Amino acid sequence: MKNIIIGDKTYSIDMLDEEGKANLASSQFVDGKIKETSNLIAALTVSKNAYIQQLKNEIIKSKTGFVTD
């Protein structure tokens, strides 16, 4: 018997009709997509920050002739 928690209450999935089960599946799908998108945003942010750092290094190198890490 599986349960779901909504707010502070626990409900049995067995109590749901077909429409309720479909809504639950849709909600779980959306939750998965949100997590997937959050992970993608985190990876893209890391990449963006690396590119910005490379740009800063290039600017400093072109102005001073020194290479920074």
pLDDT at 64: 84
- The boundaries of the domain holding residue 38 are 18-64
Provide the token pair at 43: 């990876």
Write the pLDDT tens digit of every residue in 11-43.
999 999 999 999 999 999 999 999 999 999 999
The pTM (predicted TM-score) of the whole model is: 0.70
Mean pLDDT of 55-67: 85
DSSP secondary structure string for all residues of 3-42: EEEETTEEEEGGG--HHHHHHHHHHHHHHHHHHHHHHHHH
pLDDT at 68: 63
- Residue type at 64 in one-letter notation: T
The number of distinct structural domains making up the chain is 1
Answer whether residue 45 is part of any domain.
yes
pLDDT at 1: 72
Answer whether residue 11 is part of any domain.
no
pLDDT at 65: 76
Answer whether residue 31 is part of any domain.
yes
Q: What percent of the chain has pLDDT over 70?
A: 96
